[in-house]
Structure 1
Amino acid sequence: MRHGSRHIRSLTCLAAAAALTGAAPPAAPDPGTTDVTVTISNLRNVKGVIRACMTQNKKRFPKCRGDASAYAAVVPAKANAVLTFKNVKPGTYAIALLHDENDNGKADRALSMIPKEGFGFSRDAKVVMSPPKFSSAAFTVAEAPITQAIRMRYMF
């Protein structure tokens, strides 16, 4: 019994430490999933954060709003930024990035249409008068880890 209570006490201390630091214990990888790592280049400054979403839903790309199965990540803006989507299930996905320079959680626009902040898409899909179609940014995830290189773009 004594060994069991020590184990419970250790788990309680671990949970308390995680709660204080705001960190969760590392999750074990789900079988049949992999990681998708995104390297981000061409940031014009290191203000704010980079917001990313990855979806399989063609109708929800590039915003991912309302897609419960979309993956999301936020990292501080910095030179040569990297983010990773963990435990990604196999399928066809597209990624959209936003350099949210003022960290207000939205894409700021000029003249209600032109993005004032940076953006980028998987497969470095080009933007011509509107965001790229899902098919232009789509890539396949299987069992091996994947890396996508995305260059941020700015309209002005």
Structure 2
Amino acid sequence: MKKLFLTLPGLLAVMGSCVSHAAELTLKFEDIRSSKGRLLVAVYDSQTAFETQSDNQAIASFNLPATAGMQGVTLHDLPEGRYAVSLHHDENDNGEFDLNGRNFPLEGFAFSNNVGADKEVTEFSEAAFDVGEGSTRQNMTLVYIK
């Protein structure tokens, strides 16, 4: 995953300026191993965008300083739609999703609907959820392989 480019205040300002139907999405991140590095979050609205895991294809991407244990954030004025979220705990703060020589993750990760920890590839349809008018909540539990 490439380095995410929006801070949370920037994300909220951009999203608030281009929305006609207000929806709210609360993301709760659980089992964060340490307070080292940053949490890199990307929100996707299609299979094609989700498959890339690229910030350029995300409708929103941002990063937060990591806090061990549990952490949350609420996105306001999100357009109604179907979304999937990916989360990466960049513990060494290098802006990359580090893998070992056998392509196993060295850092924590999670997807919405808590899918994908037991699979090589996670599909948008498995991670996707609907955001309608009002509030939607997604709890995401981080997985650390090593």
Give the TM-score taking structure 1 as reference length.
Answer: 0.75
CA 1:72–1:86 in 2, change beyond 3 Å: closer, same or farther? farther
Structure 1 unpaired stretches of 5+: 1-22
Structure 2 unpaired stretches of 5+: 1-8
1:74 aligns with 2:63: yes
Structure 2 residue aligned with 1:31: 20
Q: Percent same amino acid among aligned pairs?
A: 27
Structure 2 residue aligned with 1:52: 41
1:115 aligns with 2:105: yes
The CA distance in 2 between the partners of 1:90 and 1:111, in whole Å, is: 40
Q: Indicate the RMSD between aligned Cα atoms, in angstroms.
A: 2.1
Size of the aligned set, in residue pairs, is 132
The CA distance in 2 between the partners of 1:48 and 1:87, in whole Å, is: 28
> 1:1-44: CA deviations, max 9, x gaps?
xxxxxxxxxxxxxxxxxxxxxx77x8567430222111111111
The CA distance in 1 between the partners of 2:20 and 2:139, in whole Å, is: 26
The CA distance in 2 between the partners of 1:99 and 1:57, in whole Å, is: 23
Q: 2:106 touches 2:144 (CA, 8 Å); kept in 1?
A: yes
User: What is the identity, as a one-letter code, of the residue corresponding to 1:35?
Assistant: E
User: What is the identity, as a one-letter code, of the residue corresponding to 2:100?
Assistant: A
CA 1:105–1:112 in 2, change beyond 3 Å: closer, same or farther? farther
CA 1:64–1:34 in 2, change beyond 3 Å: closer, same or farther? farther
Q: 2:38 touches 2:90 (CA, 8 Å); kept in 1?
A: yes
1:42 aligns with 2:36: no
The CA distance in 1 between the partners of 2:119 and 2:101, in whole Å, is: 14
Q: 1:93 touches 1:138 (CA, 8 Å); kept in 2?
A: yes
Structure 1 residue aligned with 2:88: 98
Greater displacement, 30-39 / 47-56: 30-39
Structure 1 residue aligned with 2:131: 141
